[in-house]
Structure 1
Amino acid sequence: MLLAVHGSPGYPPVMELDVRHLRVLCAIADTGSVRKAARRLGMTQPSLTTQLLRIERSVGGRLFTREQTGSRPTALGHSVLSRARPVITGMDALVAAARAEAAGPGRRRLRIGSVGSRAVAAWLRRIHERLPETDTTIHIDISAIALIQLVAAEQLDIAFVHESEGFPLQVPAGTEQRVLVAREPQFVALAETHPAAGRPVVALADLAQDTWMVDPTADHEYAALRRVFAEAGLDPHVVQVRDNATAAELVASGEAVRPCQPTSPPGPGTVLRPVHGDPLAVRLLLTWRPDTVGSPTLDGLWVDLCRAYLDLASGNPAYRAWLDRHNRSLHTLLAPPGPPALSPTQPASGRS
């Protein structure tokens, strides 16, 4: 499958990009880094850099800008990527359908999507143990909106996503959602040398002079953080950093702080602390199509995810300390069973 991309006047002739070239471009855009893209694709960084330069030379313009924080698509890059992604999605769907047909009618498949979470690995392990004959695949994306759309388009069967408080996700027609955790508090990562690092709980005001970091590709993360600051009457500097390695180094060096999941482990030279009043929170959800994921399968996946999340929470000292301060047990983290379908505009529960 080929994609013709026209460059600017005066540049070399048009190049017909094959799927391998498109995957290179998408990998760089998705990871925000040539180094990370090379790791994802199983290539060396120099070879990937050389390939990108050849693609750009043949296309006739730069597709990415190289910055200290990573690689960002140019205007031409965005144009190419907007055409490349449907091609890759279509090719992946074609291959998946062919494999399913080749496997025979008796072979089941399960296509799972998820935002980044340490619970995913344990969830998959439980699914493999319970459904050893099922061909299970996983698609990770930082965008919950993108994952939900893939479920709606029947390119994923089920997805584990999170929703920033105050910014409810829209539920596409034909899909349903079930709440796993109604309100997961977001902690803050800061350098172990930070003046507030010795406190068990930090206040937003303690970090008002710090630079905060968010991932620009995470749905509503920047807007949700700004909303919390506005409600607190604060206006700290917020920067958008896509590369996680760079972000971790900036936190450890004391240059910035950033929100993080309460189940995250602290990186080298950093500590995780809850924020007083838990102003930052997300809701954890499962999204699926009931016409492709029946009740027995859904219930099994739900139990597997609940147990994976509880195991993760129980092994995290910072999260356990938060539970103790709120006089809660691990099992009260999970939302009570109820009607699976949610209104498209139903907001997350209030702060605790």
Structure 2
Amino acid sequence: MKDLDLVATFLEIYRRGSLTGAARALGLSQPAVSGQLVRLEEQVGGTLFTRSRNGAEPTPRAHELARRVGPHLDGLRQALRTDDEDAVRGTVRLGSAAEFAGARLLPALAPLTRHGLTVKLTLDLAEPLLTLLAEERLDLVVSSVRPPPTLRGLTAMPYVDEEFVLVGAPTAARTVDPDLLEDDPVAALAHLPLVTYAAELPIIRRYWRSEFGRRPPNPVAVVVPDLRAVLTAVAADAGISVLPRYLAEPALRSGALEQLHRSPVPPLNTLYLVTRTGPLPPPVQRVRAHLVDQAADWGPL
């Protein structure tokens, strides 16, 4: 069990952002936590954190280790809970994008609401939600970005990956030259208008740059700040767009949409579970652990 203790200590440092916070949560001295971290770093063969005035900054190796072991350790803790611990009393103020909340969060949390949990959900973009969290007006945020350094006192852990797909109606797909799509996808798709979440094309621009190395030259047909509405407009052949696979998958299966481009390595975006640094109230701890446990069965979304 010694190795498991080292991993548990690592996760506390990772999630709380400091050795001091981890020591407080674990009821250990800071030298003991530091010693456990050194032993784990010897086992994994590399540095897991760099020290700074802001605490312990995870290295890429730490992000990967947290992604691999976090869900399993949280699941083990949940499996070892007693029946009395299954009762969740209290209110958790949760922030998320509306689409993800409807598709994943609310179904995942429904069992906890039957055991005394009250969820107060705020729907917005990542940046304003993180600000509310830093102001102690939320307890937990599912964020599409890591908290910026300007928002201090927040701890983020990788949660789940979103896969993005470029989609259009079948009529739009038939206008794309497959040979040109292979040789010059930007030119092959340039005649198709875009349906976008925001005028700055945040999701679409990222997809074009990561997959094609260029900005999209396409005209914009519809701007609507709701990905479910984007999906509806694309299915009605108002234009093409980039959507999370979890949102587009039912329409793809039914044939209402077609995937216009496929990449050998699907483009992914990591979602984070973000809390304030420091000890968490028991209901917030339970909700976070439950969401991690549920996401272990989802895979990339």
Deviations for 1:121-152, whole angstroms, at most 9, x for unmatched residues? 222214324xx2233211111x1001111110
Q: Distance in 2 between matches of 1:121 and 1:161?
A: 16
User: Larger relative contact order (C-alpha < 8 A, sep ≥ 6)?
Assistant: 2
User: How far off its partner does 1:251 sit?
Assistant: 1.4
> 1:140: which partner in 2?
123
> 2:268: which partner in 1?
281
Change (3 A) 1:187 1:126: farther
Change (3 A) 1:246 1:136: closer
> 1:258: which partner in 2?
241
Q: Distance in 2 between matches of 1:306 and 1:272?
A: 31
Flag structure 2 segments of 5+ consecutive residues without an equivalent: 1-87
Does residue 1:186 correspond to 2:164, yes or no?
A: yes
Deviating runs (4+, > 6 A) in structure 1? none
TM-score using structure 2 length: 0.53
Give 1:285-296 correspondences, 5 Å limit.
Answer: 285-291=272-278, 293-294=280-281
Flag structure 1 segments of 5+ consecutive residues without an equivalent: 1-105, 314-329, 335-352
Supply the AA of the counterpart residue of 2:242.
P
Does residue 1:195 correspond to 2:171, yes or no?
A: no
Match of 1:122 among 107, 114, 119: 107
Identity %: 18
User: How far off its partner does 1:107 sit?
Assistant: 6.0
User: How far off its partner does 1:119 sit?
Assistant: 0.8
User: How far off its partner does 1:271 sit?
Assistant: 2.0
Supply the AA of the counterpart residue of 1:175.
L
Give 1:1-352 correspondences, 5 Å limit.
Answer: 108-115=90-97, 116-117=99-100, 118-129=103-114, 132-141=115-124, 143-163=125-145, 169-171=147-149, 172-181=151-160, 183-193=161-171, 194-195=173-174, 204-205=185-186, 206-216=188-198, 220-221=202-203, 223-225=205-207, 227-228=209-210, 231-232=213-214, 235-239=217-221, 241-242=223-224, 244=226, 247-264=230-247, 265-267=249-251, 270-273=256-259, 275-278=262-265, 280-291=267-278, 293-294=280-281, 300-309=286-295, 313=298, 330=299, 333=300
More helix by percentage = 2
Supply the AA of the counterpart residue of 1:212.
L
- CA contact 2:208–2:214 (8 Å) conserved in 1: no
Deviations for 1:40-94, whole angstroms, at most 9, x for unmatched residues? xxxxxxxxxxxxxxxxxxxxxxxxxxxxxxxxxxxxxxxxxxxxxxxxxxxxxxx
User: How far off its partner does 1:170 sit?
Assistant: 1.1
User: How far off its partner does 1:232 sit?
Assistant: 4.2
User: How far off its partner does 1:230 sit?
Assistant: 6.6
TM-score using structure 1 length: 0.47
Q: Distance in 2 between matches of 1:207 and 1:160?
A: 33
User: How far off its partner does 1:218 sit?
Assistant: 8.9
Match of 2:269, SS state, is strand
Q: Distance in 1 between matches of 2:234 and 2:194?
A: 9
- CA contact 1:119–1:305 (8 Å) conserved in 2: no
Change (3 A) 1:219 1:257: closer
Deviations for 1:199-242, whole angstroms, at most 9, x for unmatched residues? 9xx87445333222221189943653564477147523345511
